[in-house]
Amino acid sequence: MTAIVSLCIKPAVDLFCRTERLIDDGKSRCRISSREPGGGGINVARNLHGLGVGVLTVFTAGGANGKQLQDMLECDKIPFHRFEIEDDTCQNIAVTETSTGKTYHLVFPGQQLREPEWQNCLAYVNSLDPRPEYLVLSGSLPEGVPDDFYGRIAVDAKEKGIRTILDTSGRALASPLKTGVYLAKLNRGEFVDSGYSGRLDDYQSMLAAMAEMVANGMAEALIVTLDAEGALLASRDGDSLHVRPPATKVVSHVGAGDSFVSVLVYQLYQGKSLAEAYRYGVAAAAAKVQMPGNYLDDMELVETIYQQVGWK
């Protein structure tokens, strides 16, 4: 059974490579570490599939990179529904400088979608049968896709009682939050884009604003991530929490937010409370920043960090 569907309207092929030092105005000789499927919704599906959950990812892809993306998902046996598009899917690059341990993530604007392409995808997601329990809307919108794309999905999901998890940014945010989703995960910048104008180091004010957004129906639960400081949670059930992970050596932020969402949805699906699932999400992101690549494959580390995540 497909319990969880994750939509990836803007996927990518992610190339991970390393070089000793990035040379200014010269050649930086790189070695390829891995080439992986990428894009929020696809990262979430890979992690959930690895956890043994019935998940389907719906994505749009075209050209040589689109074919490569599909081949990689087939190889990993990830259930998917692909919408073929005319433009070539983009390739993003994450370069790790081994002398400093810093990772530079180069993200390209990517493919443009024609109206019939996104309309087909929208119609498919809005007629999923059987209905999933959770629908993850993850990633930014490609050019050509209207601002209210996620909002149109959220309206339909709400009517059907599907729990929508939103993880997006910029112009894609306002419409689904206006409709109201089950859960939205924002970083500080996205929180500002959603209307917050106070200080970003005053967690009490942030929690108060989040509670107001929840009361206004934007989401039943709202999470704002704070990097090394953990994350805040406000919910309709009255949760108002701040949890912090232990200090962590950062290798790469790539895929950390998607790991947060994957493990959070997984724990909710397993019947954990929102507060517990969110604490697991913070632990998953803290585990993911310690490893390269897109895929979270060390659940033991997540469990260890979970035990150390402190409530405030």
**Contacting residues toward Mg ion, per CB under 5 A:** 257
Of 38, 142, 245, 293, which lies in the binding site for ligand ADP, with binding defined by CB under 6 A?
245
Site pattern 273..312 for ligand ADP (x: CB under 6 A): ------------xx--x-----------------------
Q: Which is nearer to ligand ADP, 102 or 114 (CB)?
A: 102
* 261 closest CA partner among 242, 277, 237: 277
Contact region with ligand ADP (CB under 6 A), list: 75-83, 172-180, 227-235, 267-275: 227-235
Q: Which is nearer to ligand ADP, 122 or 183 (CB)?
A: 183
Angle, vertex CA 274, rays to CA 272 and CA 277, nearest 5: 60
Q: Does residue 248 interact with ligand ADP by CB under 6 A?
A: yes
Token pair for residue 241?
């929490």
Q: Which is nearer to ligand ADP, 4 or 233 (CB)?
A: 233
* CB of 71 vs Mg ion, minimal distance in Å: 27
* 141 closest CA partner among 124, 123, 121: 121
The residues assigned a catalytic role are: 258
Q: Which is nearer to Mg ion, 11 or 257 (CB)?
A: 257
Q: What DSSP line would sit under 175-226, residue for residue?
A: HHHHH-EEEEEE-HHHHHHTT--S-TT-HHHHHHHHHHHHHTTSEEEEEEE-
* CB of 256 vs ligand ADP, minimal distance in Å: 3
Residue nearest to ligand ADP (CB): 257
Token pair for residue 150?
């996620």
* CB of 221 vs ligand ADP, minimal distance in Å: 15
CA-CA distance, 64 to 82, in Å (whole number)? Answer: 14
37 bridge partner residues:
13
Token pair for residue 277?
């699932």
Give yes or no for a contact between 170 and 186, defined as CB atoms under 8 angstroms apart.
no
Of 45, 181, 183, 256, which lies in the binding site for ligand ADP, with binding defined by CB under 6 A?
256
Token pair for residue 310?
């402190």
Contact footprint for ligand ADP (CB under 6 A):
187, 225-228, 231, 245, 248, 250, 253, 256-257, 260, 285-286, 289
